[in-house]
Amino acid sequence: MDNVIVADNLTLAYKDFETIISKASFAITAGDFVFITGASGSGKSTLLKSFYGAIEPRQGNLSVGGIKMNRIGTSKLNFLRRHLGIVFQDYKLIKEWTIEKNVMLPLIISGYTGDVGGEQVKKLLGHVKLSHQAGKYPPELSGGEQQRVAMARALAHNPILILADEPTGNLDEYSSSVIWGLLEGANTQLKTTIVVVTHHIPDEIKVPYRHYHIEYGNINEIA
């Protein structure tokens, strides 16, 4: 199996601030379901950000999908991001776009429009049980519903890797179960690699997973 993410002595730090992740080395293989846990401020989200190029390695090497993230250029970064599905804790939905158009975003960026995109969006909104909300705008939806929309958006373009930052952080039980169900489904049926940053690994997870824990800037594989 190919490695989707490879970190070699990876050190992460924000400008002029102390090191957050120190000399981490690990590899995530295609089809893996990975949890990254750690206390608040431990650097879980920072590590996830480095996977989609929002923060560059201070030292060491990091490659995602075979692309080196050190001093990555804009066009390469855009290319990589078009193959990623990202779920943010604060959803990051475009407020002035309808739910349908928000889910369509990765497809618009990849150049799919019209019937192909429309069908895919319909299907995904059905999966997240939001077909009836397609024409509404994000502020009209609850937090749980917005996160389900973000989940549908992350899956819209069949990404090779889904990165989720506390995807069920403040959600109700029903929305949480829909999201975990979708992540599991994408992993088992589409063989999508999943990396989830979370405080707590939910009990309902049935798929085999790997677990990394961050403590004092060090990453250790637990399971």
Partner 1 sequence: MKSLKNHISLIIALFTVLASVQIYVSIDRTIAAYESHLKDDYSVIVVTNKAFTDSEIKTMSSMIARSEPISTSAVLERLKGEMSPKNLELLKLTLPKFYRLYLNRFPTPKEIKSLQKKLEKNSAVERVEGFSQTHDTVYKLMMLFKDVVQIFSIAIATVTSMLILKEMRLWQFQHAQRMSIMALFGAPVWLRSAVLFRLAIVDAIIATLILCLTFFLIDYYGFLVTQLKTIGITVELFHFANDALRSLGIALGISIALTFTIVLFQTEEE
Q: Is the dihedral of CA 31, 40, 81, 204 positive or negative?
A: positive
Q: Is 84 in the site for partner 1 (CB under 8 A)?
A: yes
Between 72 and 176, CB nearer to partner 1: 72
Between 54 and 223, CB nearer to partner 1: 54
User: Could you give the string, one character per residue 99-118, with x where binding to partner 1 holds by CB under 8 A and - elsewhere?
Assistant: ------xx-xx---------
Using alpha carbons, select from 130, 149, 50, 35 the residue that is nearest to residue 90. 149
| In the chain, alpha helices (H) | 44-51, 74-81, 99-110, 114-127, 143-155, 173-189
Between 93 and 130, CB nearer to partner 1: 93
Using alpha carbons, select from 210, 205, 137, 135 the residue that is nearest to residue 168. 205
Task: Collect all residues with Cβ–Cβ distance below 8 Å to 162 and sequence separation of at least 6.
Answer: 84, 85, 86, 87, 154, 155, 183, 186, 192, 193, 194, 195
Beta bridge partners of residue 37, listed in sequence order: 213
At 99 the three-state DSSP class reads: helix
Q: Is 54 in the site for partner 1 (CB under 8 A)?
A: yes
Give the containing element (helix H, strand E) for 23: strand 19-29
Q: Is 96 in the site for partner 1 (CB under 8 A)?
A: yes
Rounded least distance, CB 83 to partner 1, Å = 8
Q: Is 55 in the site for partner 1 (CB under 8 A)?
A: yes
Size of the site for partner 1 (CB under 8 A): 25
Q: Is 132 in the site for partner 1 (CB under 8 A)?
A: no
Q: Is 86 in the site for partner 1 (CB under 8 A)?
A: yes
Residue choice 2, 68, 70, 94 for contact with partner 1 (CB under 8 A): 94
Q: Is 82 in the site for partner 1 (CB under 8 A)?
A: yes
Q: Is 49 in the site for partner 1 (CB under 8 A)?
A: yes
Between 49 and 148, CB nearer to partner 1: 49
Task: Collect all residues with Cβ–Cβ distance below 8 Å to 127 and sequence separation of at least 6.
Answer: 152, 155, 182
Q: Is 222 in the site for partner 1 (CB under 8 A)?
A: no
Binding site for partner 1 (CB under 8 A): 49, 52, 54-55, 74-75, 77-84, 86, 92-97, 105-106, 108-109
